[in-house]
């Protein structure tokens, strides 16, 4: 199956700093990648849709200036949490759309962000 | 918004079939039904998906009702490693393929 990686797997930062999370499709090219956030004991919430070479589309209620998304290549998308605060602490998960059979999303292992 | 509803939790005896239902009564004609599962603190794992016909792969079977308003994921011989949260999602691959997750079903396989 298709493999998606994320880096780092876990990050702890101080309030007010920015954190970058990378999402890579390792064995396929992904024209579309997605970013999700998941709070403890809750379901995944879609944050944004990222298309290679164009601006990301953010879901309602997600601040685009706070969660910067860059999709510069067909295998890499990055999410930068700017001026992070404790309420941004969460599990961030990316996925990549294969665009070929089985034409579905494959998810990364997630990044646990803790803001002190 | 999520377009599917699932029971919040289910138990299944090890070695028995696990049947997980999903209601998607407002599904549109070009939306597929996807099933994923998530083991604690990991990313969701793809299981299976289908449009109209029943589907089977090495992991599971997917039974979709004729009116497409509901479906059932079948794990034929559940093992302890199948304990996870199972998500059913209705999505259209032709319009961005955004996934809106519902609350899922927490399946516990009991020894």
- Taking contacts as CB-CB distances below 8 angstroms, the residues of chain B near A91 are 41
What is the nearest CA distance from A51 to chain B, expressed in angstroms?
A: 10
Contact A92, A111 (CB under 8 A): yes
Contact at CB, B41 and A32, closer than 8 angstroms: no
Tokens of B36: 């994923």
Q: Which of A11, A4, A9 is nearest to A29 (CA)?
A: A4
* Test mutation, B3, B36, B44, chain A, max A CBs within 10 A: B44
pLDDT greater than 70 at residue A1: no
Tokens of B65: 């009702």
Within 25-64 of B, beta carbons closer than 8 Å to A belong to 34, 36, 38, 41-46, 49
Tokens of A34: 């997605």
- The pLDDT value recorded for residue A53 is 83
pLDDT greater than 70 at residue B49: yes
Ramachandran region, residue A105 (left: φ > 0; alpha: ψ -120 to 50; beta: rest) = beta
Tokens of B21: 């239902």
pLDDT tens track for A32-60: 999 999 999 999 999 999 988 888 999 99
Which residue has tokens 């005896």? B13
Q: How far is CA B63 from CA A81, B31, B76, B81, in A?
A: 41, 15, 13, 22
Establish if B111 touches chain A: CB-CB under 8 angstroms. Answer: no
Before A65, cis peptide (omega within 30)?
no
- The pLDDT value recorded for residue A64 is 93
Name, in order, each residue with C-beta under 8 angstroms of A55's C-beta and a sequence gap of 6 or more: none
The residues facing A13 across adjacent strands are: A115
pLDDT greater than 90 at residue A72: no
Which residue has tokens 């949490």? A81
Tokens of A72: 């510069």
What is the nearest CA distance from A6 to chain B, expressed in angstroms?
A: 10
pLDDT category of residue B95 using cuts at 50, 70 and 90: low
Any idea what DSSP says for residue A59?
A: P
Q: Which of A49, A93, A109 sits opposite B98 (nearest CB)?
A: A49
Cβ-based burial of B73 (10 A; exposed 0-12, middle 13-18, buried ≥19): buried
The predicted model gives A91-106 an average pLDDT of: 86
Contact at CB, B101 and A44, closer than 8 angstroms: yes
């Amino acid at each position: 199956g298709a493999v998606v990686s994320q880096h780092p797997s876990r990050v702890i930062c101080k309030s007010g700093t920015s954190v970058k999370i990378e999402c890579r499709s390792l064995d396929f090219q992904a024209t579309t990648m997605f970013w999700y956030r998941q709070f403890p004991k809750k379901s995944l919430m879609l944050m944004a849709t990222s298309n290679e070479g164009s601006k990301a589309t953010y879901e309602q209620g997600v601040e685009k200036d706070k969660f910067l998304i860059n999709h510069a290549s067909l295998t890499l998308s990055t999410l930068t949490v700017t001026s992070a605060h404790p309420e941004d602490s969460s599990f961030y998960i990316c996925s990549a759309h294969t665009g070929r059979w089985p034409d579905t999303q494959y998810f990364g292992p997630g990044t646990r962000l803790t803001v002190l | 918004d999520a377009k599917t509803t699932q029971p919040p939790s289910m138990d299944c005896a090890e070695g028995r079939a696990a049947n997980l239902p999903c209601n998607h009564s407002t599904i549109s004609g070009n939306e597929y039904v996807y099933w994923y599962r998530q083991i604690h603190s990991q990313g969701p794992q793809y299981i299976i998906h289908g449009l109209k016909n029943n589907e089977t792969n090495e992991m599971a079977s997917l039974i979709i009702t004729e009116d497409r308003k509901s479906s059932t994921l079948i794990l034929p011989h559940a093992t302890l490693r199948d304990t996870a949260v199972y998500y059913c999602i209705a999505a259209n691959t032709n319009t961005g393929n955004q996934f809106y997750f519902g609350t899922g079903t927490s399946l516990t396989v009991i020894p």
